[in-house]
């Protein structure tokens, strides 16, 4: 598994035989710099899977408070206070996905509210191959890029 820039899901066929439907994909991990991130979180901040467009771009908008939200109708979970998260998503199409912090309070130099691996310049990518049905994936230790972070 290439843990540097991308996380590849292994081909696991976990079909729900009784219902004839695929099991959801569960993505787990831990945000290691929650102490640095806490001051930028609001009560309604959440994590969400986002799918870049064909050109790799992300549609983003801002609310009245200047908080970024990437356009996505994929699975989401409340921002975990402990940093440990688990996102379950059904019906993921093959392709590349990212995990975004949605409605993070604005901070100086804010460009992205995506999860990264320590020291990496590119956001954590989760690649779902065509024949994946319902695997569980642990992306391990991840980070948000925030001002003064010692992890980048």
pLDDT tens for residues 78-135?
999 999 999 999 888 888 999 999 999 888 777 678 999 998 889 999 988 776 556 7
pLDDT for residue 134: 62
Residue-wise pLDDT for 134-152, tens only, equals: 678 899 999 998 887 777 6
SS3 assignment for 32-65: CCHHHHHHHCCCCCEEEEECCCCCCCCCEEECCC
pTM of the model as a whole: 0.80
Question: How confident is the model over 16-57, as pLDDT tens digits?
Answer: 222 334 678 899 999 999 999 998 999 999 999 999 987 788
């Amino acid at each position: 598994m290439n843990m540097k820039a991308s996380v590849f899901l292994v081909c696991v066929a976990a079909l729900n035989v009784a219902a004839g439907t695929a099991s959801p994909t569960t993505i787990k991990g831990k945000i290691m710099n929650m102490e640095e991130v806490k001051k930028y979180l609001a009560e309604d901040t959440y994590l969400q899977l986002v799918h870049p467009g064909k050109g790799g771009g992300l549609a983003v908008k801002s609310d009245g408070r200047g908080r970024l939200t990437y356009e996505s109708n994929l699975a989401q979970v409340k921002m975990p206070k402990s940093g440990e998260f688990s996102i379950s998503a059904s019906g993921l199409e093959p392709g590349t996905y990212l995990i975004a912090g949605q409605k993070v309070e604005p901070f100086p130099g804010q460009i992205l509210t995506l999860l990264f691996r320590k020291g990496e310049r590119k956001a954590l990518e989760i690649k779902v191959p065509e024949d994946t049905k319902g695997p569980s994936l642990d992306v391990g230790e991840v980070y948000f890029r925030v001002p003064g972070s010692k992890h980048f």
